[in-house]
A and B are shown apart, each in its own frame.
Chain A
Amino acid sequence: MESLGWLEILGRMALRFAPVWAGLALILGTGFALRGRLGLAGRLFGNGIGLAGLTIVLFWLLTALFADLIATHDPLAQLSGLKNAAPGSPAPGSSYPFYLLGGDSLARDSFSRMVAGARRVLAIAPAATLCAMAVGVLLGLPAGYVGGRLDAALSFLANLVLAFPVILLFYLLVTPEIRETALPRTFAALLFLFPLLFLILLWHSRYRTRARPWAVGMIPILGLGLWMWSGLALDADPLGVWRLEPGLLTVFVAVVFVNAPTAFRIVRGLALDLRARDYVAAARTRGEGPWFIMLWEILPNARGPLIVDACLRVGYTTILLGTLGFFGLGVSPESPDWGSTINDGRRFLAIYPHAAVVPALALMSLVLGLNLLADALREESLHD
């Protein structure tokens, strides 16, 4: 069988991405039709940069979602004779007749590994970002709103973490000696508690005066939350649905730990500014508790900068995961995540560039998309 030309490779790739195109068309079409009613998100459709960012991010999200349909091969399967094969090489006797983007140094399909890597990256980065934001919000709001000694203490803690070199911190967290102690588990238990705590406080402060809606929201929050928390953080889920492999858990904890102080500082600064508003004073004079004021009066009005920051932070976390993978930290050596793949490919970069270039381009385009999206959101949230 002949090797494929570049045009043919692109054509076949486009065909493999068919579910993604369908999904994109559906989401963007619906969004465009409803753009007048979608508020800030709807205004992205009138903004070229925003639309580009949204499309790229959605592309990767859908790729992660449909990874099993798109991938041509098992990302871990090796085919003899295809070690470092050029893009478009024929792969007879396998699930798909070609290695579309070539093979890596262990004769695995680069295209499938990239697609499978997207799932990996997009499962961790947004979740870690949300977790870090929850920590930042829950500590930053009181620091900014209450101020005084609480603020001094929390800010000092945040500065302490920020002052420590990130890479060194990672090395420490993922060294086997530390991983064997209870430290990562304890950390995880603590950090995963924040999103749950956030939801509980949010609901309680709003509905504390009305028993029925209070119970209606609190039961699922507590039930689901504690279930997920016990599974993810303590690995003690009785049903075994929620589970995080120890290596990934460490990476997750490390990423959240590094991101939380910067999120804290942003939230604290916003709260410091917003606490002097009249509507906050109005809430105080009608006897609202501090958590209602922080979560329902201050936080919604800080959402613009926080959404933008979250977008940028997902991009940053993606790169961080890549960096970690590149150093071989945290994830299993087989893992198809983009960072590890780039690291594997770099040894033969001069001779067989495709193995490293493919995941590198994927990483770059995702971060670019997130940055464009953040830019557009920032710009659109300014006019109003």
Chain B
Amino acid sequence: MTEPVLRLEGLTVSFGTRRGRFPAVEDLSLAIAPGEVLGLVGESGSGKSTVALAVMGDLGPAGRIDRGSLRFGGRELAGLSERALRPIRGAGIAMVGQEPMAALNPSMRIGAQLAEVPRLHARVSRAEARAAAWRAAEEVRLPDPERILDSYPHQLSGGQLQRVAIAMALMARPRLLILDEPTTALDVTVEAGIVELLREIRQEHGTSMLFIGHNLALMAGICDRIAVLYSGRLVESAPAPRLFASPRHPYTRALLRALPRIEGARRPPVPLAGGQPLPHERPQGCAFAPRCGHAQGGRCDVAPVPLETAGPDETVRCLRWREIREQPIVAEPLPEARPGPAVLEVEGLTRRFRTARGTVHAVEDVSFSALEGETLAIVGESGCGKSTLARLIMGLDRPDAGRIRLTGVEVQDRPAGRRPAALTAAMQMVFQNPADTLNPSAPVGRQVMRALELFQGASSAASLRTRLSELFGLVRLPESLAARMPRQLSGGQRQRVGIARALAGDAAILVADEPVSALDASVQAAVIETLLELQRIRRATLLFISHDLALVRQIADRVMVMYLGRVLEIGPATQVFGPLAHPYTRALLAAAPRSDPTAALRPAPAGDPPSALDPPSGCPFHTRCPRRAEVPGRLCADRLPPLAEVAPGHAIRCHLSPEELRKQPPDEERRPAAPLTPSCRGAS
């Protein structure tokens, strides 16, 4: 067997905190063979990023390697001085992080930053370095390298920046590339492009990779082997196809069940109860035992569980893995919605922002209605106007034109605060960022209480308190949390408090703007479950804004697809995800990662969406549309197609006829998308 590129043995890393030293990673052994891509999966707090930092020798003043070895190509890294590590970083091991904007110097041109790498590592001349930067930019498929090299980071889109960061990491030809959640901050379509690029790089250069992430579906598409980390310990590792086909550890099984699946229409993800223990609260035995349905008292909670070899190249840390035979749990399909009358009607809604560089067409002529008791999903890439739409509906922003009717009352000219109390209570919002949705300086109970006071001011103090405990019960939070401050709650708990607050006035419509996108998969599933349950019980309307098509497919009754401020398609979920759909919807679906390593590669739409500052004429999607060639002449570029009804309740905005749309090009499944017009984002 060849020497692995990286071999960790018994690695234990601890961090010093106010309360003492706690291990973030315990007794971790891993090896990455040359050319192999190892996925390291775990939820936030599992210690996965600590592994990356330990390998890079960048644990900071509080972190320390307590035990174990870290061998890179046969050389021990643990205990190496900063000076000795420097030549290894970059040329030996390179790293790409989550935030590309933070990785690049905002006051230096991209070309100069890329050229620094060969200047430092290979000591080449300025001209040669510049040429190398050019080649690197081409290698990561950046359109128009000349322009990009001359740009500053703020002039590029997130996807382009991440490509630049990858180019920079690859320039010194490292043997190992560490990718720490490289696509978390990006849109699905852009994410698919980056994953595609990583696959190509690995094929061309044989670079080994350590891919760290929390999204198993995404990792299915790129990793050879996957290691699952839970509370600082490795719980299972296996070749990717094996792990997805027959996971052994109960935690891995639970993770897979909680994963939004593009193929699971109307079957919501299955949540995993509880949360990961903090380092100082880890239980005696198996760390997962308190949340595990198979745990046996007196056995699983006694002594630390050893890591067993379960097969060739497969390990599992569970005492009962041989005994557990469980049928894969599949969620009950959602019952068919029985939608009532329209409670929210939007007509011709338009919002433009005038900026120094021109007018941003954030929302253009959007019309739809939401029915009582249904889940209407609004999907699209970032910048498509879905959040602006939510703000307009909520009255946080005023439309330039159009009408919003809330239970029959026109509210477009009444911003939040000027609406009648009954209408305000009827429609409430759940926000995206769990760190931001609650006021950090007030106990969470008081914040929900405040909403209760506003909406039900006439009630007595005692009845308000009863109502508060009811609300906490409704979102499945123990009442004892009411006295805590938001920072003492986990992200999922905070989102639940946010939902409870929104329900204080018995809201008939909940507008949820990416309510789970910042949460870990298992927590995500639990919050979704709560939302859906509330909707079922109270027959509330859920306006679910999301970029996660897999999740939308699992829970939505109807779907509205937005692109550059316009509605491209709206209709029942079964139809929108069916054979008759807008080319953009198909592209989004194709880009969504699927949790099956054997799935065929699907083309993603090339490039980023154009800027809403200067939207393309005609059909907004024509610059990236893979089927533009089928429309005769310049129709797509010249005229905006109407949003035409192709079936009852299903409308598509495309020049192609329904018959043509239904007909798919035979080779669509495998043909990679030809790079279309290079996208340019007008420095927004």
Contact = CB atoms under 8 A, between A and B. Distances in A.
A210 B416 contact: no
Contact of B436 (A277, A284, A287, A296): A277
Contacts of A175: none
A318 B600 CA distance: 74
Contacts of A278: 431-433, 436-437
Interface centre among A46, A209, A290 (most CB of B within 10 A): A209
Given A278-B437, A279-B438, A384-B487, A286 B431 contact: no
Interface string A246-290: 000000000000000000000000000000011101101111111
B394 interface: yes
Contacts of A209: 453-454, 457
Interface string B376-418: 0000000000000001001110000000000000000000110
A284 B396 contact: yes
Given A281-B396, A281-B429, A384-B487, A286 B437 contact: no
A301 B440 contact: yes
Nearest to A302: B441
B501 interface: yes
Interface centre among A279, A284, A297, A301 (most CB of B within 10 A): A279
A210 B441 contact: no
Interface string B126-164: 000000000000000000000000000000000000000
B4 to A, nearest CB: 38
Given A286-B428, A303-B441, A279 B436 contact: yes
A46 B421 CA distance: 48
Contacts of B487: 384
Given A279-B437, A300-B439, A301-B441, A286 B453 contact: no
Given A278-B433, A281-B396, A281-B429, A286 B439 contact: no
* Chain A binding surface SS class: helix
A282 B444 CA distance: 14
Given A281-B429, A285-B424, A286-B428, A300 B442 contact: yes
A282 B395 contact: no
Interface in B65-79: none
B505 A286 contact: yes
B451 interface: yes
Given A209-B453, A209-B454, A301-B441, A282 B498 contact: yes
B396 A288 contact: no
Given A210-B453, A278-B432, A284 B439 contact: no
A294 B439 CA distance: 12
B639 interface: no
A286 B505 CA distance: 9
A297 B501 CA distance: 15
A297 B436 CA distance: 12
Contacts of A384: 487
Nearest to B429: A285
B455 interface: yes
Contacts of A290: 417
Contacts, number: 68
B419 interface: yes
Contacts of A281: 391, 394, 396, 429, 431
B490 to A, nearest CB: 16
A289 B421 CA distance: 12
A287 B394 CA distance: 11
Nearest to B457: A209
Interface residues of A, number: 21
A282 B454 CA distance: 13
Given A278-B433, A297-B439, A289 B417 contact: yes
A281 B431 CA distance: 9
A279 B460 CA distance: 26
A121 B163 CA distance: 61
Given A282-B429, A285-B396, A285-B428, A300 B454 contact: no
A285 B392 CA distance: 11
B441 A300 contact: yes
Contacts of A277: 436
Contacts of B437: 278-279, 282
A296 B447 CA distance: 11
B395 A285 contact: yes
A52 B498 CA distance: 42
Contacts of B454: 209, 286-288
Nearest to A207: B453
Interface string B43-55: 0000000000000
B417 A287 contact: yes
Given A281-B396, A297-B439, A286 B424 contact: yes
Contacts of B439: 279, 296-297, 300-301
Contacts of A286: 424-425, 428, 451, 454-455, 501, 504-505
B416 A287 contact: yes
Contacts of B436: 277-279
A284 B429 CA distance: 10
Nearest to B498: A282
Nearest to A293: B417
Contacts of A287: 416-417, 419, 421, 424, 454
Contacts of A297: 439
B463 to A, nearest CB: 13
A285 B438 contact: no
Contacts of B432: 278
A250 B432 CA distance: 52
Contacts of B431: 278, 281-282
The 5 closest A-B pairs by CB, nearest first: A300-B441, A278-B431, A278-B436, A209-B457, A287-B424
9 contacts: A279-B440, A285-B424, A285-B429, A286-B501, A286-B505, A287-B416, A288-B454, A289-B417, A301-B441
Given A210-B453, A287-B417, A300-B441, 13 more contacts: A278-B432, A279-B436, A282-B498, A285-B416, A285-B424, A285-B429, A286-B424, A286-B451, A287-B424, A290-B417, A296-B442, A301-B441, A303-B441
Interface of B: 18, 391, 394-396, 416-417, 419, 421, 424-425, 428-429, 431-433, 436-442, 451, 453-455, 457, 487, 498, 501, 504-505
